[in-house]
């Protein structure tokens, strides 16, 4: 899923700054997608691409902080770095609380900037890894039959095969078969692994 | 002296004539029966026209005829005997008089002057033994009282000869020489000796030169060459040493013309003929006095009983023209002096006109000076006002820039950010194994560009902070608007205000101080921004438009969507220290308006029918300004 190069979505209304930052990042080997306004960014953003966003705080119409709100509200988990003309502590606190990687003051030193980008890269990679794992689990779960899925919820609830059979009005042997297939499909060998997986996939135990 | 009585007399005569014409017969009867006509014999010893006797006689005659109630039958006889050096035989003259008055009763004999009196005394017995005699104008010293009978009296002179000399020395104290003009006839010889005697006491003080031995021509020559500090005293010249006679003292005027020194004279009859003046023999007064005495005798009074006092000098008289000519100060004149022939000075003649003109001139001068002072004061005040206005304008700019300091810092920060990043990018590029030099060059070019951008911001700010001297040049209004918006860029973003521009492009240039004009725009923008503080964000828009107007003007309109102008504020907008803001000085619009006016333009502020206010700044274009100048 982490296809292609790490891409930085750069948003700054100042053409000169936008160009300079782009140049710096490209010189360090990053892919850069510059945008002159928040609106352009929202239109041109591709969440599938690995990368991070760099927002200028002071922009006409939609400023950086407002852009962050809209961006995250739409379910995007891309890490965001802010650049600001002047150190504004209340704004920076708000931004960090909303999940920003960093809040940097212009003119920004390359080390600080690149460090922040590197951190964003890590965060992004992690996030992407997590989502990728989840997606794999979800995909396995979808292969389960309804009976197997039912058995799953009972197993992770800590029930024995005999009890499950009783609950489902069948024989212990049948449950044993379902359980075996389910474990195989999900690629787990122990109940502990199964419980962890179900937890990741957000599947609730029976009766809970 | 020259009184108006002859004129009155003439008038009376005229009246008489008129009466005569009106009643001819009656008048003839009266005249025929006028048995009481008075016969008077006026006797001259020295020829009729000789001064001073002729002058005394003239005065006497006129007065007598005028004053007498009865007609006067006047016989005037000139014997000229006094001019004869040695009268051997006066018989023919006696016969002449006898023949003249043959058989007529004579009422009064009037000899004029001493020689005539002597003649009459000698021949009265044989001519008119009974007729009373009135001696006129002889000097007291010539006719002693003892020589007069009961039938005689005299109106005599008492000439104070030293007074003449004293007068000269009083007026001209530096005088060293005095020439005395006196003739050589017997009577003049008499007076020469009298004068010599009376002037003797002054011998140590002044040198007296006697002209009696000179001919008139010699006298003229001498008069013309008199040394400095000399004077001429003209006493009497009837006949010079050569025996040439000079009637009526006409000779005086001739001498006076050539004389190098001031001329004094004896009698009032010479006054006004070029003499300086002083104590003078009173021929006029003498004639009048004599006439009065004659009338009393003709009325029947005994001559011996009438003893009139001798006629002395009257108040000394001076000729102002001569005093001026010889530069004699009036302060030297005796206190009772009478100055005649005073030429009224321009001041005396046109006193009121001059006073009036002077007053008008003075008033005018005062006004001019006043106006000049006022205008200088006004100019100084104007200069001061201009200076203060510039000072305040500058302070306002400083204040606005203070307000915009954050924005300005941001405007400089942006290019600095770009410069730093470009520079660091270039360094990173160069650190690579095979650096992309094209990219490095681009980065450096961008650094240059961004540096210029920062420089522009600083220049703009520095311009606005500049103080004092106004620099007028061509101003493109569109450019000014663009530059102002650029300066405000960050502030507009901070306040989430959008600016919509509708610039005419290719506007005719106006002429003025770009700094001051930018200040106006800056102020109008700030006002617009302030006005929209409580406007909902999507509506926070400022619309700027420029256009050329008919009649050589360009205009910029700045429209906001704020609260607009309150009704109360409308009238006070441009008044100093009026503000509707919580933190305003109230000088912004006042100064903007002043600046607009100073550029020949005007500033208006009105509400927009939809919402907010519109500020309209119009300025004359350069060609129009040039044409107006």
Residues 63-122 of A with CB under 8 A from B: 63, 83, 85-86, 106-110
- Which residues on chain A are in Cβ contact (under 8 Å) with B449? 16
Question: How sure is the predictor about B55, in pLDDT bands with cuts at 50, 70 and 90?
Answer: confident
Residues A109, B424: C-beta atoms closer than 8 Å: yes
Which CATH number is A143-201's, of 3.40.50.300, 1.10.3720.10, 1.10.10.10, 3.60.15.10?
A: 1.10.10.10
Q: In Å, how far is A64's CA from the nearest CA of chain B?
A: 12
Residues B421, A108: C-beta atoms closer than 8 Å: yes
Q: Are residues B180 and B74 in the same domain?
A: no
Size of interface A-B (CB pairs under 8 A): 90
- Which residues on chain B are in Cβ contact (under 8 Å) with A63? 493, 496
Q: Are residues B237 and B359 in the same domain?
A: no
Q: In Å, how far is B450's CA from the nearest CA of chain A?
A: 7
Q: Is residue B248 part of a domain?
A: yes
Q: Is residue B286 part of a domain?
A: no
Q: Residue B392: how many CB atoms within 10 A of its CB?
A: 16
Would you state the structure tokens that stand for residue B607, as one six-digit string? 């509400």
Q: A26: Cβ–Cβ under 8 A, 6 or more apart, which residues? A: A32, B425
Q: Are residues B559 and B525 in the same domain?
A: yes
Q: Is residue B253 part of a domain?
A: yes
Please state, for a pLDDT cut of 90, what percent of chain B lies above it. 25
B414 neighbors B458 (Cβ within 8 angstroms): no
Is residue A74 pLDDT above 70, yes or no? yes
What pLDDT is attached to residue A86?
A: 77
B157 neighbors B139 (Cβ within 8 angstroms): yes
Which residue in A16, A58, A86 is closest to B450 by CB distance? A16
Average pLDDT over all residues of chain B: 84
Would you state the structure tokens that stand for residue B541, as one six-digit string? 């828009």
Q: Are residues B450 and B576 in the same domain?
A: no
Which H/E stretch holds residue B628? Answer: helix B622-628
Compare B22 and B473 and report the one with higher pLDDT.
B473
Is residue B153 pLDDT above 70, yes or no? yes
Task: State which residue of chain B sits closest to A86, comparing Cα positions.
Answer: B410
B297 neighbors B306 (Cβ within 8 angstroms): yes
Question: How sure is the predictor about B439, in pLDDT bands with cuts at 50, 70 and 90?
Answer: very high
Residues B421, A20: C-beta atoms closer than 8 Å: yes
What pLDDT is attached to residue B33?
A: 44
Rounded CA separation A117/A123 (Å)? 10
Q: Is A29 on the interface with B (CB under 8 A)?
A: no
What pLDDT is attached to residue B249?
A: 65
Is residue B522 pLDDT above 80, yes or no? yes
Q: Mind listing the pLDDT tens digit for each residue in A85-124? A: 877 788 888 888 888 899 999 899 999 999 999 999 999 9
What pLDDT is attached to residue B588?
A: 76
Q: Is A27 on the interface with B (CB under 8 A)?
A: yes
Q: Mind listing the pLDDT tens digit for each residue in B570-627? A: 667 776 666 666 666 566 788 888 888 888 888 888 888 888 899 999 998 876 566 5
Which residue in A21, A26, A60 is closest to B493 by CB distance? A60
Rounded CA separation B126/B111 (Å)? 16
Task: State which residue of chain A sits closest to B432, comparing Cα positions.
Answer: A27
Question: How sure is the predictor about B19, in pLDDT bands with cuts at 50, 70 and 90?
Answer: low
Compare A200 and A26 and report the one with higher pLDDT.
A26
What pLDDT is attached to residue B17?
A: 56
A11 neighbors A67 (Cβ within 8 angstroms): yes
What pLDDT is attached to residue B9?
A: 45
Would you state the structure tokens that stand for residue B240, as one six-digit string? 């010079």
Would you state the structure tokens that stand for residue B559, as one six-digit string? 């429209």
What pLDDT is attached to residue B370?
A: 92
Q: Is B498 on the interface with A (CB under 8 A)?
A: yes
Q: Is A133 on the interface with B (CB under 8 A)?
A: no
B180 neighbors B222 (Cβ within 8 angstroms): no
Q: Are residues B458 and B488 in the same domain?
A: no
Average pLDDT over all residues of chain A: 88
B419 neighbors B447 (Cβ within 8 angstroms): yes
**Number of structural domains chain B divides into:** 5
Residues A16, B410: C-beta atoms closer than 8 Å: no
Please state, for a pLDDT cut of 90, what percent of chain A lies above it. 29
Quick one: three-class SS letters along B431-477? HCCCCCHHHHHHHHHHHHHHHHHHHHHHHHHHHHHCCCCCCCEEECH
DSSP string, A88-135: -HHHHHHHHHTTEEEEEESSPPHHHHHHHHHHHHHHHHHHHHHHHHHH
Q: Are residues B477 and B625 in the same domain?
A: yes
Q: Are residues B174 and B132 in the same domain?
A: no
Is residue B232 pLDDT above 90, yes or no? yes
Rounded CA separation B542/B559 (Å)? 6
Q: Are residues B411 and B533 in the same domain?
A: no
Residues A85, B429: C-beta atoms closer than 8 Å: no
Would you state the structure tokens that stand for residue B359, as one six-digit string? 């007053």
What pLDDT is attached to residue B85?
A: 55
In chain A the first and final C-alpha atoms are separated, in Å, by: 34
Which residue in B410, B446, B453 is closest to A86 by CB distance? B410
Is residue A63 pLDDT above 90, yes or no? no
Average pLDDT for B489-512 = 87
Q: At what angle do helices A172-186 and A191-201 cross, to 10 degrees?
A: 60
What pLDDT is attached to residue B614?
A: 92
Kindly report the pTM of this predicted structure: 0.51
Three-class DSSP category at B307: coil
Q: In which domain, by residue range, is B367 found? A: 350-379
Query: Domain of B74: which CATH number?
Result: 3.40.50.2300
Looking at CATH, the fold of the domain delimited by A7-130 is given as Rossmann fold (3.40.50)
Q: Is residue B187 part of a domain?
A: yes
What pLDDT is attached to residue A97?
A: 82
Quick one: three-class SS letters along B40-91? EEEEECCCCCCCCHHHHHHHHHHHHHHHCCCCEEEEEEECCHHHCCCCCCCH
Q: Is B415 on the interface with A (CB under 8 A)?
A: yes
Q: Are residues B370 and B487 in the same domain?
A: no
What pLDDT is attached to residue B79?
A: 75
Q: Are residues B570 and B514 in the same domain?
A: yes
Beta-sheet strand order (sheet of B72-78): B72-78, B38-44, B108-112, B133-139, B152-157
What pLDDT is attached to residue B3?
A: 45
Q: Mind listing the pLDDT tens digit for each residue in B392-402? A: 788 888 888 88
Is residue B119 pLDDT above 80, yes or no? yes
- Which residues on chain A are in Cβ contact (under 8 Å) with B443? 20, 23
B183 neighbors B238 (Cβ within 8 angstroms): yes
Rounded CA separation B578/B587 (Å)? 7
What pLDDT is attached to residue B1?
A: 42
Which residue in A16, A20, A107 is closest to B425 by CB distance? A20
| Complex confidence, ipTM | 0.79
Average pLDDT for B499-522 = 88
Which residue in B409, B422, B496 is closest to A23 by CB distance? B422
Q: Where are the domains of chain A?
A: 7-130, 143-201
Q: Are residues B422 and B512 in the same domain?
A: no
Q: Are residues B228 and B105 in the same domain?
A: no
Residues A107, B492: C-beta atoms closer than 8 Å: no
CA dihedral A186, A192, A197, A201 (to 10 degrees): 120
> Checking phi first, is residue B91 left (phi over 0); if not, alpha (psi -120 to 50) or beta?
alpha
Q: Residue A195: how many CB atoms within 10 A of its CB?
A: 17
Which residue in A59, A61, A110 is closest to B424 by CB distance? A110
Judging by DSSP bridges, how do beta strands A51-56 and A100-105 pair with one another? unpaired
Residues B490, A85: C-beta atoms closer than 8 Å: yes
Q: Mind listing the pLDDT tens digit for each residue in A139-183? A: 888 888 888 888 888 988 888 888 888 888 888 898 899 999 988
Q: B2: Cβ–Cβ under 8 A, 6 or more apart, which residues? A: none
Three-class DSSP category at B178: strand
Is residue B32 pLDDT above 60, yes or no? no
Is residue B448 pLDDT above 90, yes or no? yes
Quote the Cα angle for B233-B238-B242, to 5°.
Answer: 100
What pLDDT is attached to residue B627?
A: 59
Least confident of B58-67, B142-151, B498-507: B142-151
Query: Domain of B416: which CATH number?
Result: 1.10.287
Distance of CA A41 to the CA centre of its chain: 19
Is residue B314 pLDDT above 90, yes or no? no
Which H/E stretch holds residue B185? Answer: none
Rounded CA separation B20/B454 (Å)? 128
Interface test with B, best of A91, A107, A113 (most B CBs within 10 A): A107
Is residue B7 pLDDT above 50, yes or no? no
What pLDDT is attached to residue B27?
A: 46
């Amino acid at each position: 899923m982490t296809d292609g190069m790490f891409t930085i979505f750069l948003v700054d209304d100042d053409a000169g700054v936008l160009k300079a930052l782009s140049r710096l990042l490209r010189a360090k080997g990053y892919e850069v997608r510059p945008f002159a306004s928040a609106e352009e960014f929202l239109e041109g953003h591709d969440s599938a691409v690995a990368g991070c966003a760099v927002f200028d705080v002071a922009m006409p119409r939609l400023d950086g902080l407002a852009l962050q709100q809209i961006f995250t509200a739409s379910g995007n988990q891309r890490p965001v770095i802010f650049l600001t003309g002047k150190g504004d502590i209340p704004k920076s606190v708000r931004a960090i609380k909303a999940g920003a990687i960093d809040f940097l003051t212009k003119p920004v030193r390359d080390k600080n900037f690149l460090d922040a980008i590197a951190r964003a890269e890590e965060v992004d990679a992690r996030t992407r890894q997590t989502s990728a794992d989840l997606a794999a689990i979800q995909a396995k779960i979808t292969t389960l039959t309804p009976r197997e899925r039912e058995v799953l919820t009972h197993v992770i609830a800590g029930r024995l095969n005999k009890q499950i059979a009783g609950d489902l009005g069948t024989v212990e042997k049948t449950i044993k078969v379902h359980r075996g297939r389910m474990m195989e499909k999900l690629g787990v060998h122990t109940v502990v692994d199964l419980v962890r997986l179900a937890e990741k996939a957000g599947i609730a135990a029976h009766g809970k | 002296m020259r009184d108006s009585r002859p004129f009155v007399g003439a008038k009376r005569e005229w009246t008489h004539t008129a009466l005569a014409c009106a009643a001819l017969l009656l008048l003839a009867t009266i005249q025929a029966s006028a048995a009481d006509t008075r016969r008077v014999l006026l006797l001259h010893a020295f020829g009729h026209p000789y001064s001073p006797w002729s002058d005394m006689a003239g005065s006497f005659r006129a007065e007598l005829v005028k004053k007498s109630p009865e007609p006067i039958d006047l016989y005037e006889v000139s014997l000229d005997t006094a001019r004869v050096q040695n009268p051997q035989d006066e018989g023919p003259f006696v016969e002449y008089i006898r023949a003249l008055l043959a058989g007529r009763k004579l009422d009064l004999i009037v000899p004029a002057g001493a020689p005539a009196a002597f003649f009459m005394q000698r021949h009265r017995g044989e001519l008119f033994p009974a007729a009373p005699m009135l001696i006129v104008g002889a000097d007291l010293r010539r006719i002693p009282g003892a020589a007069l009978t009961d039938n005689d009296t005299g109106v005599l002179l008492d000439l104070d000869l030293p007074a003449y000399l004293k007068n000269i020395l009083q007026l001209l104290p530096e005088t060293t020489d005095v020439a005395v003009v006196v003739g050589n006839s017997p009577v003049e010889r008499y007076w020469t000796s009298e004068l010599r005697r009376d002037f003797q006491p002054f011998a140590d003080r002044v040198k007296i030169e006697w002209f009696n031995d000179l001919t008139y021509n010699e006298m003229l020559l001498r008069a013309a060459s008199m040394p400095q500090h000399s004077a001429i005293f003209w006493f009497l010249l009837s006949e010079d040493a050569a025996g040439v006679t000079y009637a009526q003292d006409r000779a005086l005027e001739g001498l006076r013309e050539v004389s190098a020194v001031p001329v004094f004279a004896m009698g009032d009859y010479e006054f006004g003929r070029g003499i300086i003046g002083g104590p003078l023999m009173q021929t006029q007064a003498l004639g009048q006095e004599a006439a009065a005495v004659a009338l009393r005798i003709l009325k029947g009074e005994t001559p011996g009983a009438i003893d009139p006092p001798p006629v002395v000098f009257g108040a000394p008289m001076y000729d102002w023209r001569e005093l001026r000519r010889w530069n004699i100060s009036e302060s030297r004149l005796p206190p009772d002096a009478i100055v005649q022939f005073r030429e009224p000075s321009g001041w005396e003649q046109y006193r009121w006109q001059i006073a009036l003109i002077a007053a008008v001139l003075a008033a005018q001068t005062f006004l001019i000076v006043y106006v000049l002072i006022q205008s200088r004061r006004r100019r100084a005040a104007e200069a001061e006002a201009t200076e203060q206005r510039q000072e305040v304008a500058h302070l306002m700019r400083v204040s606005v820039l203070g307000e915009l300091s954050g924005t300005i810092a941001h405007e400089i920060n942006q290019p600095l950010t770009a410069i730093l990043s470009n520079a660091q990018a270039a360094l990173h590029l160069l650190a690579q194994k095979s650096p992309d030099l094209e990219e490095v060059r681009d980065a450096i070019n961008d650094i240059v560009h961004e540096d210029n951008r920062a420089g522009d911001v600083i220049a703009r700010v520095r311009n606005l902070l500049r103080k004092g001297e106004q620099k007028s040049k061509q101003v493109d209004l569109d450019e000014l608007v663009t530059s102002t918006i650029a300066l405000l860029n960050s502030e507009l973003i901070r306040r989430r205000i959008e600016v919509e521009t509708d610039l005419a492009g290719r506007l005719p240039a106006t002429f003025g101080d770009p700094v001051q004009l930018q200040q106006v725009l800056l102020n109008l923008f700030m006002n617009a921004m302030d006005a929209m503080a409580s406007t909902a964000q999507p509506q926070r828009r400022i619309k700027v438009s420029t256009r050329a107007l008919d009649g050589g003007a360009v205009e910029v309109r700045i429209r906001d969507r704020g609260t607009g102008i309150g009704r109360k504020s409308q009238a006070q907008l441009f008044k100093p220290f009026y503000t509707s803001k919580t933190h305003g000085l109230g000088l912004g619009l006042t100064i903007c308006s002043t600046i607009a006016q100073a550029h020949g333009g005007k500033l208006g502020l009105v509400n927009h029918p939809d919402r907010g206010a519109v500020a309209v700044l119009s300025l004359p274009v350069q060609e129009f300004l040039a044409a107006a100048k």
